[in-house]
Every structure is written in structure tokens, then in C-alpha cells.
Amino acid sequence: MDNVRLVEVGPRDGLQNEKRPLSVADRVQMIEGLIEAGLTTIEAGSVVSPKWVPQMEGSTEVLSSVGHREGITLQMLVPNFRGFEAARDAGAEEIAIFASASESFSQKNINCSIAESFDRFLPVMEGARNAGMRVRGYVSCVLGCPYEGPVALSSVVAVASRLHAFGCYEVSLGDTIGIGTPRAAATMVRAVAAEIPVSSIALHEHNTYGQALANILACLEEGVSVFDSSVGGLGGCPYAKGATGNVATEELVFMLDGMGIKTGVDLPKLARVAVETAAKLGRDPVSPISRILAAS
């Protein structure tokens, strides 16, 4: 494989679990920095209940402030039709919907069963189709659930296939609590790829147990070529206790650069975004290499 596409989820997954919320202006600056560093697909925020995830309030303003950029896809995560309408009205060209492979996580995260979540997605998909918007789908808990423990492969495959059948152009398989190890990750991807094209599969790794890069490498070998990551390794899910950051974009780019796989990302520029964003959050970047790279 010569190229991979990175989906930068820092402005959404990275910030949604932080104690200190970032202002709209700071989030816009973060996205500008990510674009400048060469990232072309960026999840700009989410339209969810501000009572549940206050950090994401103002996401539509973030999106409309950055505005349309040639060659850049800004994505908005939405749980329901209301979220879709707000994203569309703010100029989103792409949205992401999110389902879970585990019933308990679905209930905790979006307050409904897996089956009910698909009922909510139906009008979203129809609205997006009418508006000419692309839809990406997430499956959470593909390698384990914070409430149920092991998750059946059959459930991961069923939810991923259904999202694909609904019309999602890409299905991102989320190791929400970062509990997967490389063979389990490869087996899971192989099972999903038996049902939907591997070119429409992305991997979304959290690095809770330090397995993210190893899992990504294992799935690269299975033919996956799209990976979600978060600048600075920020992130976590408010509904998955102990889930730490996503795989750090700079660590992933460092690994891919070393393997001769192109991402189009300028590492020092990216690392400076990691350091600046962490400073605004009042913390160190989760990824220790950010400082080294930012100074290079």
C-alpha cells in the first residue's frame, strides 16, 4: 500500500471528553492548523445534546466559520434528524452517524437500542441523500464494550453491514476502549470485509492499552487504507469510562512515513497544533513525541 487516508477526529473525539471546553474561535484555529498541516478530512464537531456533551456546543458555528475549502472535507457527527438538519444548515457537506455493536453502550451513549438507533438513522439518510451529502458510519465497541466486555463478532458484522446497506460510503470500526490486540483486530476486520468492500472500511483506534499502532499495522496488512486519529492523542468517550485518547495523528504519520506510506501530512506543523491545542486545554499532549517533532 502506497497511500492511506487519515480522518482527523481531534476537533470532535479529541475535545469531547476534555474537562476544559475550547471556545469556537480556538476550535476554528485548531482546524485551520490541521488543514495547514495537510489533513484533508477533518471531523469538525458534533450536533448532540449540550447537556450530554457540553464541549461540542457551538459545533455548527465552528463549521460555518471554517467554511467551504477546496479539497477539504469537514464532517459533522449527528445522532438524529435534528442534528442532521443543523449540520446541513451550517453548510456541512458530509455527516457521520454512529451506532454500537453493543446494546449497553448504545443505551448509555445515545439512550436507545441498536435497532432504535437505525430507526433514527433512516430519516437522516434520506435527508442527506436529498441534500446531496455523503454519510460516514461508525460502529462502536468493535473489540470490546466497557459495560458488557467481549462483543460478538456477528454483532459487529451485522451493524457494519447495515450501515453500509443504509448508504454509508465508509464504515469506521471503533475500538472505543482501545482494548483490542492485533490478531483480534485483524480477525474482526477480516470478518467485516467478508460482507462489505475493504475499501469502504476505516479503523478507529483508541490507545488506552497502548495497542493502537500495532492494531493499525495488523489492519493495514488486511488491506484497510483509512484510519481515524486525533492530533496530540487527545480524546476519549464520555460514555466509556477509562477510554483514553485516540491514536495520535503524529505517531501514526511517523510510523507511516517510516514505512514509505504517504499521508500528505507535514509532521512538524501537525505537532505544533498538538502542542498549542494541549496548552489551551491546560494539559500536556497525550503523545510524548509531539514536543520533539514540534521543535524539529
Residues that bind ligand HMG (CB under 6 A): 13, 16, 46-49, 51-53, 79-80, 82-83, 98, 109-111, 138, 140, 174, 176, 204, 237, 239
Considering only residues 142 through 201, tell me which ones interact with Mg ion, judged by CB under 5 A. none
Q: State phi, psi for 235 to the nearest 5 degrees.
A: 130, 180
Residue whose CB is less far from Mg ion, 13 or 251? 13
* Shortest separation between residue 84's beta carbon and ligand HMG, angstroms: 8
49, interface contact from ligand HMG, Mg ion, none, CB < 5-8 Å by kind: ligand HMG
Residue whose CB is less far from ligand HMG, 80 or 249? 80
52, interface contact from Mg ion, ligand HMG, none, CB < 5-8 Å by kind: ligand HMG
Contact call for residues 109 and 140 (beta carbons, < 8 A): yes
Q: Is 118 helix (H, G, I), strand (E, B) or coil?
A: helix
Residue whose CB is less far from ligand HMG, 230 or 294? 230
Quickly count: other Cβ atoms within 10 Å of residue 183's Cβ: 11
Q: How far apart are CA 97 and CA 83, in angstroms?
A: 10
Of 162, 148, 149, the C-alpha closest to 114 is 162
Residue whose CB is less far from ligand HMG, 189 or 294? 189
269, interface contact from ligand HMG, Mg ion, none, CB < 5-8 Å by kind: none
* Shortest separation between residue 190's beta carbon and ligand HMG, angstroms: 19
Q: How far apart are CA 176 and CA 209, in angstroms?
A: 11
Of 5, 6, 16, 214, the C-alpha closest to 98 is 16
Cell of 107: 443505551
* Shortest separation between residue 92's beta carbon and ligand HMG, angstroms: 13
* Shortest separation between residue 82's beta carbon and Mg ion, angstroms: 22
166, interface contact from ligand HMG, Mg ion, none, CB < 5-8 Å by kind: none
Q: How far apart are CA 172 and CA 160, in angstroms?
A: 8
Residue whose CB is less far from ligand HMG, 121 or 138? 138
Question: Distances from the Cα of 205 to the Cαs of 7, 26, 140, 175, in angstroms?
Answer: 11, 25, 10, 5
Q: Dihedral of CA 147/230/200/78: which sign?
A: positive
* DSSP-assigned letters across all residues of 263-279: ----HHHHHHHHHHHHH
Binding mask 10-39 for Mg ion (x = CB under 5 A): ---x--------------------------
* Shortest separation between residue 173's beta carbon and ligand HMG, angstroms: 8
Contact call for residues 230 and 249 (beta carbons, < 8 A): yes
Q: Which residues are catalytic?
A: 237
Q: State phi, psi for 175 to the nearest 5 degrees.
A: -90, 75
Considering only residues 211 through 270, tell me which ones interact with Mg ion, judged by CB under 5 A. none
- The binding site for Mg ion (CB under 5 A) comprises 13
